[in-house]
Amino acid sequence: MTQQTNQLDHIDTLILNAVQDDFPVCERPYYDLAQQLNQEHRLALDEKTLLERVNTLRDGGFLRRLGAIFNSAPLGYRSTLCAAKVPHYLLEEVAEIINQRPEVTHNYVRNDDFNVWFTFCHNRQSSLDDFLTQLRAIEGIGAIFDLPASKVYKIRAVFTITEQ
């Protein structure tokens, strides 16, 4: 990917598809992933180059997060979906506050009265309560609903990236 055009090249496209679908869980995942891509697509990637490309994709906004998703309930965690009414002039400020919390796994804006939605995964109810109190204290923010998960659904979302 070139820094100037912010366009994906063929290898970037292959990397984005691979990290979504079959990221190796091992001691040297970038080495193993480079070997896999080399074998499947006749490339000559090494571990360092692959990691540099992943970091460039992250820095360019093409990749937000790379990590495992655990079944949190057996580990003592609860997940809740929160919906908030946030005036447009506060969107960036509120999003920045939400994004700073490590318990937040998803955060997005919708075109609706309840326009800010985020998922908060916690092992102490007080951490959620304290955070929602902090958000509610922001002048101008509207109602915030806490919608705890009552059933777990396993959703496998893979977005196949194609070359432009």
Q: What average pLDDT score do residues 14-19 get? A: 94
What average pLDDT does the segment 25-48 reach?
96
pLDDT tens profile 101-156: 999 988 999 999 999 999 999 999 999 999 999 999 999 999 999 999 888 777 67
Whole-number average pLDDT of the chain:
90
Q: How does DSSP assign 22-84, residue by residue?
A: ----SS-HHHHHHHHHHHHHT----HHHHHHHHHHHHHTTS----------GGGT-EEEEEEE
Q: Tens digits of per-residue pLDDT, 82-92? A: 999 999 999 99
Q: What does the pLDDT read at residue 3?
A: 45
Beta bridge partners, 146, equal 82
Q: Residue 120 corresponds to which amino acid?
A: F
Please give the pLDDT value at position 6.
66
CATH assignment, 73-148: 3.30.70.920
pTM score of the predicted model = 0.65
Nearest 5°: the CA angle 27, 33, 35 is: 105
> Which tens digits make up the pLDDT trace of 44-57?
999 999 999 999 99
